[in-house]
Structure 1
Amino acid sequence: MASGCTDSMIVLDPKGPIGEQQKDLILLSTLLCLIVVVPVLIMTFVIVWRYRDNKANKAKYKPEWEHNTKLETIWWGIPILIIVTLAAITIKYTHMLEPSRPLASDKKPITIQVTSLDWKWLFYYPEQGIATVNYIQFPEDVPVKFLLTSDAPMNSFWIPQLGGQIYTMSGMAMTLHLQADEPGKYFGSGANFSGKDFASMIFTAEATSQEQFDKWVSGIKSTQPALTADGYKKLAMPGVSEVQSFSSFPIGLFEQTVTKYSAGHNHGGQASSFTDKSHEGHGKEVAASKTVTKQEGGHDHVGQH
Structure 2
Amino acid sequence: MASSLQEGLLDPQGPIASAERLLLINSTAIMLVVVVPVIVATFAFAWWYRSSNQRASRDLSESYEERVEFVVWSIPALTVILLSGVIWIGSHQLDPRARISGTSDPLRVDVVALDWKWLFIYPDQGIATVNQLVVPAGTPVEFRLTSATVMNSFFVPQLGSQIYTMGGMITHLSLLADKPGEYPGLSANFSGDGFSEMRFVVRSTPAGEFNAWLGEARSSGSALDDAAYAELSKPSKAVPPATYRSVDPKLFDHIVDRTATGRDTTGMVHQGGG
TM-score by length of 2: 0.91
Task: Give the secondary-structure state (helix, strand or coil) at the position aligned to 2:259.
Answer: coil
Matched-pair contact (CA < 8 Å) for 1:14–1:161: yes
**How far apart, CA to CA, are the structure 2 residues paired with 1:168 and 1:130?**
21
Matched-pair contact (CA < 8 Å) for 1:142–1:179: yes
Matched-pair contact (CA < 8 Å) for 1:32–1:82: yes
The alignment status of 1:6 with 2:3, answered yes or no, reads: yes
Q: Which one of 279, 292, 303 corresponds to residue 267 of structure 2?
A: 292
Q: Deviations over 1:135-182 (max 9, x none)?
A: 011111100001100011111100111102000110011110000111
Q: Point out the more displaced range, 74-83 or 182-191.
A: 74-83
Q: Who is 1:274 aligned against?
A: none
Q: Which one of 246, 252, 259 corresponds to residue 257 of structure 2?
A: 259
Q: Count matched residues.
A: 268
**How far apart, CA to CA, are the structure 2 residues paired with 1:246 and 1:158?**
23
Q: Who is 2:163 aligned against?
A: 166
How far has the Cα of 1:61 moved from its partner? 7.8
How far has the Cα of 1:7 moved from its partner? 1.6
Matched-pair contact (CA < 8 Å) for 2:123–2:250: no
Task: Give the secondary-structure state (helix, strand or coil) at the position aligned to 2:138.
Answer: coil
User: Structure 1 residues 221 and 70 mapped into 2: Cα distance closer, same or farther (>3 Å)?
Assistant: same
How far has the Cα of 1:96 moved from its partner? 0.6
Task: Give the secondary-structure state (helix, strand or coil) at the position aligned to 2:260.
Answer: coil
Q: Deviations over 1:88-137 (max 9, x none)?
A: 11111111111011112341000010000111001001111111010011
Matched-pair contact (CA < 8 Å) for 1:187–1:202: yes
Matched-pair contact (CA < 8 Å) for 1:229–1:250: no
**How far apart, CA to CA, are the structure 2 residues paired with 1:112 and 1:217?**
14
Matched-pair contact (CA < 8 Å) for 2:124–2:249: no
How far has the Cα of 1:77 moved from its partner? 1.3
Counterparts of 1:81-92 in structure 2, within 5 Å, are 81-92=78-89
Amino acid of the structure 1 residue aligned with 2:31: C
Q: Who is 1:196 aligned against?
A: 193
Matched-pair contact (CA < 8 Å) for 2:155–2:163: yes
The alignment status of 1:224 with 2:221, answered yes or no, reads: yes
Task: Give the secondary-structure state (helix, strand or coil) at the position aligned to 1:247.
Answer: strand
Q: Who is 2:113 aligned against?
A: 116
The alignment status of 1:78 with 2:75, answered yes or no, reads: yes
Amino acid of the structure 2 residue aligned with 1:79: P
Runs of 4+ in 1 over 4 A off after TM superposition: 56-62
List gaps (5 residues or longer) in structure 1: 265-288, 295-301
**How far apart, CA to CA, are the structure 2 residues paired with 1:160 and 1:132?**
20
**How far apart, CA to CA, are the structure 2 residues paired with 1:206 and 1:246?**
17
TM-score by length of 1: 0.82
Matched-pair contact (CA < 8 Å) for 1:159–1:165: yes
Q: Who is 2:16 aligned against?
A: 18
Amino acid of the structure 1 residue aligned with 2:102: S
Q: Who is 1:269 aligned against?
A: none
The alignment status of 1:182 with 2:179, answered yes or no, reads: yes
**How far apart, CA to CA, are the structure 2 residues paired with 1:40 and 1:97?**
32
**How far apart, CA to CA, are the structure 2 residues paired with 1:62 and 1:106?**
69
**How far apart, CA to CA, are the structure 2 residues paired with 1:48 and 1:239?**
58
**How far apart, CA to CA, are the structure 2 residues paired with 1:210 and 1:37?**
47
Q: Deviations over 1:226-247 (max 9, x none)?
A: 1111111111111121111110
How far has the Cα of 1:260 moved from its partner? 1.1
Counterparts of 1:204-243 in structure 2, within 5 Å, are 204-240=201-237, 241-243=239-241
How far has the Cα of 1:69 moved from its partner? 2.5
Q: Who is 2:143 aligned against?
A: 146
Answer 1 or 2: which has greater strand percent: 2
Amino acid of the structure 1 residue aligned with 2:183: Y
Q: Which one of 98, 102, 107 corresponds to residue 104 of structure 2?
A: 107
List gaps (5 residues or longer) in structure 2: none
**How far apart, CA to CA, are the structure 2 residues paired with 1:77 and 1:88?**
16
**How far apart, CA to CA, are the structure 1 residues paired with 2:260 and 2:266?**
19
